Structure 1
C-alpha cells in the first residue's frame, strides 16, 4: 500500500477515468477526497468506497468557480489533515464546427479544463508548501493536445494549455517541494469494454484499447513519493497510437 495514510484529491471523480482513479487510490490505502458537480452520483461513489472499507470523502465542486475550489481544499484538509496528491481530472468537451462554436462555449471548455487546473493547483499548493514532504499534482491532458480531428478546437486548445501549464507550475512550485506532471490519455474506454471490436483493439500498437486502470497506474508512478526526480513531465498513455504512421489505402 504505497499511499497508506496519504490524501489524494480527485476532481471529476464520479465516472470514467476519475472513478477508476478513486477506486485505484483507495485500494492502495489513500484517503480519497472525491469532488464533482454531480452530488447524487458523488454520494453513491463515496458510500460504495466506505462500504468496501476504504477512506472516502465527497464534496460538490464546480472547478470553474474559485470559491468552490477554495472550499474543496479546505474540506480536504479538515477531513484528512493533509493534501499530498491532487489529480486534475475534471473536464468537458464540445465537438462543434468552428463556424458555429460560440464564444461562451469556447470559454466554458477552457475554463472547465485549463483554468480549473490552475485554480486547483494553486489552492492545493498553499497547503502542500507547508508540508514536510511537499506534494504531487497530476494534470490530465489528452493526446488531442498534439493531434486533432475536425471540430475539436476548444478541447484541443484546452488540453494543449494543460501541457504548458504543467511545466510552468513544475518550475514555479519546485522550490516548495511540489512536483507537477501531466498525463495525456489516448482511447480509454469507460463504457462497455467487451463491446469493442477486434479492429478497435488491433489499431493500437499495444494490441488493445486502454482502460481507466491504465491511467491509474500512470498516476501511481507520478505521485509515488519516492519519485522526487520526476517533475514537469508529459506522459502519453495511448497504446502507442500517436507514434503510428497511418495512411489511407
Structure 2
C-alpha cells in the first residue's frame, strides 16, 4: 500500500501532472504512484493543511496548490500558478469530488444540495479541462476523469452523485472528440476502493465477507486505480481515448439474486 512516502522514486522525467482531490484517498494514491514513475505532480485540494503536509512527505517532485474546483476564479488562478511554476502541463487527473453517494430522499432533496454536488463533481472537471486544454495540447497530453461504477448502477437516494458521475462519463467522450487528436481523454470508474489512511485500515480492517463478495476476491486498493491511471497517461495507451475503464473487482458483472 502506498501511504504518503514514495519508496521507488525515479529521476524527474520532465512531465507535469495536476491531480485534484489529492490530499487523501485515491487522489493521493495516484499522486504517489506518478511521483514514483518520475512525474512532477501538483496536488490540488481545498484542504490546505493536509495538502501541504502530504506534498512535503511525498518529496521534491510534489507541489501543493489550494483550489476549490467549483469556483472558476480559483481554477484560473490555480492553473496559472502551475504554469508559472513549471512552464508546462502534460496530464490532468480530475479526481476531486463530493464523494458521499447518498442524498436525502428525493422529496427532501434541496436544489442547493443537488447544485453543490454537480458543481464540484461535474462543472469542476469541465472548468479544469477548459483552462488546461491549451497547455495539454502543446505537449500531446492526457486527461483522466475519475467517475464511478454508479454510472451503471444505483442505490436509493443517490440521485445527485449518480447524475454527476454519469455526466462526467459523457463529458469524457465529448472532450475526447473535441480535444483529439492532440489530447486523449479517458475515464476510470472505481467500485469499492478502500481509500482510508493506513492507520484506519489497520484499526478497522474490512471483513472476509466484504472481500469475498467480489469476484476478484478482495476490495480494491488505491494502487489498483493509480496503476491504471498511470498507464492511461503513458505512450502505451496512445490509441486509447474516449473510453471508460471499470475497476471494481468484477462486481458490476456479478449476478445477485438475494
TM range (shorter): over 0.9
Q: Which runs of 5+ in 1 are unaligned?
A: none
Report the CA distance between 1:2 and its aligned residue.
10
After superposition, the Cα gap between the structure-2 partners of 1:3 and 1:146, relative to the gap in structure 1 and judged at 3 Å, is farther
Counterpart in the other structure of 2:215? 205
Output the CA distance in 1 between the equivalents of 2:11 and 2:210.
34
Write the mapping of 1:147-186 to structure 2, written as runs, cut at 5 A. 147-175=153-181, 177-186=182-191
SS of the aligned residue for 1:9 comes to strand
**1:58 & 1:164 partners in 2: Cα distance?**
29
* Cα distance in structure 1, aligned partners of 2:86 and 2:186: 23
1:28 and 2:33 are equivalent in the alignment? no
Partner Cα distance (1:243, 1:126) in 2:
38
Q: Distance in 1 between matches of 2:132 and 2:11?
A: 21
Summarize the Cα distance change of 1:134–1:2 in structure 2 as closer, same or farther, 3 Å threshold. farther
Residue number in structure 2 paired with 1:67: 73
Q: 1:134 to 1:179 in 2, by over 3 A?
A: same
Structure 1 length normalisation: TM-score? 0.94
Superposition deviation, residue 20 in structure 1: 0.7
**Distance across 2 between alignment mates of 1:63 and 1:145:** 21
In structure 2, the CA distance between the partners of 1:159 and 1:205, relative to structure 1 (3 Å rule), is same
Tell me by how many angstroms 1:5 deviates.
1.6
User: Contact 1:34–1:59 at 8 Å: present in 2 too?
Assistant: yes
The correspondence of residues 44-193 of structure 1 with structure 2, limited to 5 A, is: 44-50=53-59, 54-92=60-98, 93=100, 95=102, 96-129=104-137, 131=138, 133-175=139-181, 177-191=182-196, 192-193=200-201
Match of 2:233 in 1: 223
Give, in whole Å, the separation in 2 of the partners of 1:147 and 1:243. 11
Deviations 1:133-166 (A, max 9, x none): 3110000000011100111000000000011000
> Given that residues 83 and 89 in structure 2 are in contact (C-alpha distance below 8 angstroms), is that contact kept between their aligned partners in structure 1?
yes
The one-character-per-residue Cα deviations of 1:160-180 (angstroms, maximum 9, x if unpaired) are 0011000000000004x1000
Matches of 2:112 and 2:184, distance apart in 1: 33
TM-score by length of 2: 0.90
**CA–CA distance in 1 between the matches of 2:45 and 2:134?**
21
Report the alpha carbon displacement of residue 226 of structure 1 after superposing the two structures with TM: 3.6
Partner SS state of residue 237, structure 2: coil
CA–CA distance in structure 1, aligned partners of residues 185 and 159 of structure 2: 25
The aligned counterpart of 1:244 is 254
**Residue correspondences, number:** 242
Query: CA separation in 1, counterparts of 2:70 and 2:201?
Result: 31
Instruction: Quote the Cα distance in structure 2 between the aligned partners of 1:198 and 1:84.
Output: 40
Cα distance change on mapping 1:3 and 1:55 into 2, 3 Å = closer
8 Å contact from structure 1 (residues 183, 237) kept in 2: yes
The answer for unaligned runs of 5 or more in structure 2 is 1-9
Q: Runs in 1 of length 4+ with deviation above 4 angstroms?
A: none
